[in-house]
Amino acid sequence: MQVFDAAIIGAGAAGLFCAGVAAQRGLNVLLLDHSPKVAEKIRISGGGRANFTNRELDPRAPHKHFISDNPNFCRSALSRYTAQDFIALVQRHGIAFHEKHKGQLFCDRSAEDLIQMLLRECEAGAAHGGSVTRWQPCGVRSLAFSASSPHGDWPTHYEIDSERGMVLARSVVVATGGLSIPQIGASDFGYQLARQFGLRIVPTRPALVPLTFDGAGWAPYASLAGLSLPVQIETGEKKHRTAFDEDLLFTHRGLSGPAVLQISSYWQPGTPIHLDLAPGTDLAEVLAQAKSVSRKLIANELATRVPARLADAWVQQDSAWQRPVNEASDRALAALAQRLSRWELTPASTEGYRKAEVTAGGVDTRDLSSQTMESRQPGLYFIGEVVDVTGWLGGYNFQWAWSSAHACANALPAAHIGATGQ
């Protein structure tokens, strides 16, 4: 039977980083994952360039950029390992990166550079007396806790029945991620383990996900698929209103783009969203002025302020809008302006976990230490997306992965016994 100081289940962003930090503290770590590929979510993120953190993250005010039943839970980890700390690591490895906008940082060349950096961090453990043994693919059949002491300095331990044999570990870190993008191996295994040990789960749902609409209701807009434009989008009642100024993308089934991905994390089924398709423009005033000086079609006048395809699709919805602007009634023009600047629509659903970038909900933070990420179950830790902490689009979720992993790795018991049978 092989013995490790810690076993980390899940070789994604959080698990891989945790393994490297722990090994550099001198721990012998087993990192296992049922998927044959390491950090696949990093590889496909950010268009293949990995939006790995965000300069604008303020750890003193996590509620600004994170959703959770307890948004303040992530403050401790984010404060102790910041975006600037991870940026410094990236720079030490000589990885070129750039800021896209709103603090979002991407690799210049490829997300693969980031993955190789994390693997090198794991290898660096050897210089500190630690190690990372990686088993992939290797599923976990069962996890059992024992209060007995197989080693003198271990008060408790875990027995892991894996597809490569039995393993003993003093600590177990669950970094299995959420349910998003099942085609690259996402599963509910982390939640199963939490429930096994009596931990609570905040109900999960797809987040950062496109919104869909019923076929008949969406028919007037289906022809706009592929069209992108800047908008203001909002949802929620006055006291709990959430709004974003981002780009919107029309699709065949509904709406996507950064604006919709952001608002989807706050949207509640059965409630409407509101869109201003010409933010910063008083369309009522624009059309009123055009009426006094122009004989152009209303669609042509609108096309000076919004994309022509959008203008054409909009005027087709009412015969009163399909005429020269100087022949239109004031009431018709006001109604058109109102519709474009305060478009209310209720999504039928989302594209689900298949297209969701992250999973909202997860292991309840009430059952975890914000300092160490250890659960109420001794020696069992949860980090990254499996926890009920969900960031905005733009690198926030990766930073939570790095910060929670770092907090956990530095809290793992350092009693070193070494791995055997390798």
DSSP-derived secondary structure for 283-325: HHHHHHHHHHH--SBHHHHHTTTS-HHHHHHHHTT-GGGSSBG
Alpha-carbon torsion (361, 367, 370, 373), positive or negative: negative
- Give tens-digit pLDDT for 183-226: 999 999 999 999 999 999 999 999 999 999 998 889 999 999 99
Note whether 291 and 161 are same-domain residues. Answer: no
The tally of domains found in the chain comes to 2
Note whether 296 and 319 are same-domain residues. Answer: yes
pLDDT at 21: 98
Contact call for residues 222 and 356 (beta carbons, < 8 A):
no
Structure tokens at 173: 């870190």
pLDDT at 151: 65
Residue 362 has pLDDT above 50, yes or no: yes
pLDDT at 159: 96
Note whether 131 and 260 are same-domain residues. Answer: no
Q: Say if residue 108 is exposed, middle or buried (CB neighbours under 10 Å; 0-12, 13-18, 19+).
A: exposed
Residue type at 75 in one-letter notation: R
Report the run of H or E that residue 388 belongs to, with start and end.
Answer: none
Residue showing tokens 């006048």 = 301
Residue 415 belongs to a domain? no
Residue 100 belongs to a domain? yes
Structure tokens at 276: 């201003």
Residue 81 belongs to a domain? yes
Q: Residues with Cβ < 8 Å from 189, sequence gap 6 or more?
A: 9, 34, 140, 176
Contact call for residues 43 and 112 (beta carbons, < 8 A):
yes
Average predicted confidence (pLDDT) for the chain: 95
- What residue numbers bound the domain in which 44 lies? 2-206+359-409
Q: Which residue among 302, 329, 350 closes a domain?
A: 350
Q: Is the peptide bond before 378 cis (omega within 30 degrees of 0)?
A: no
Note whether 236 and 270 are same-domain residues. Answer: yes
Residue 40 belongs to a domain? yes
Note whether 258 and 113 are same-domain residues. Answer: no
Q: Which residue among 317, 332, 350 closes a domain?
A: 350
pTM: 0.95
- Give tens-digit pLDDT for 390-410: 999 999 999 999 999 999 999
Radius of gyration of the chain (CA): 25
Mean pLDDT, residues 60-75: 95
Note whether 344 and 379 are same-domain residues. Answer: no
Note whether 329 and 387 are same-domain residues. Answer: no
